[in-house]
Amino acid sequence: MARAMFDYTKTVLERVSFDVNLFCKELQKALERLLPYEIEELKIWLLSYTRENPDLNQCLIYLKE
C-alpha cells in the first residue's frame, strides 16, 4: 500500500508539472502524507526530475523544511 502511494505521488507530480504553482502545491501535500523513507526517495526522484525540468527548481525549497 505504501509503495502505491509513492508511485501515485510521482504520477500526480509528473502530470501537473506543466504548472509550477500546482506542482509546488502537490509537492507540499505529498510531503505531509508520505512516510519518512518515502520522502527521502521522493527527494532523490525530484532532484533528477528537476534537472530535466529546470523551471520546477523553485519548488525544491519545500525539501529544506
pLDDT of residue 52 exceeding 80: yes
* pLDDT score, position 47: 93
pLDDT given at position 1:
58
- Report which residue type is found at 3: R
pTM listed for this prediction: 0.88
Q: So what's the pLDDT on residue 57?
A: 92
CA distances to 1, 5, 9, 13, 37 from 19, rounded to whole Å, are: 28, 22, 16, 10, 27
Per-position DSSP letters for 1-62, written without gaps between them: -HHHHHHHHHHHHHHTTT-HHHHHHHHHHHHHHS-HHHHHHHHHHHHHHHHH-GGGGGGGGG
Write down the domain spans for the chain.
2-64
pLDDT digits (tens, 9 = 90+) for 1-47: 558 899 999 999 999 999 999 999 999 999 999 999 999 999 999 99
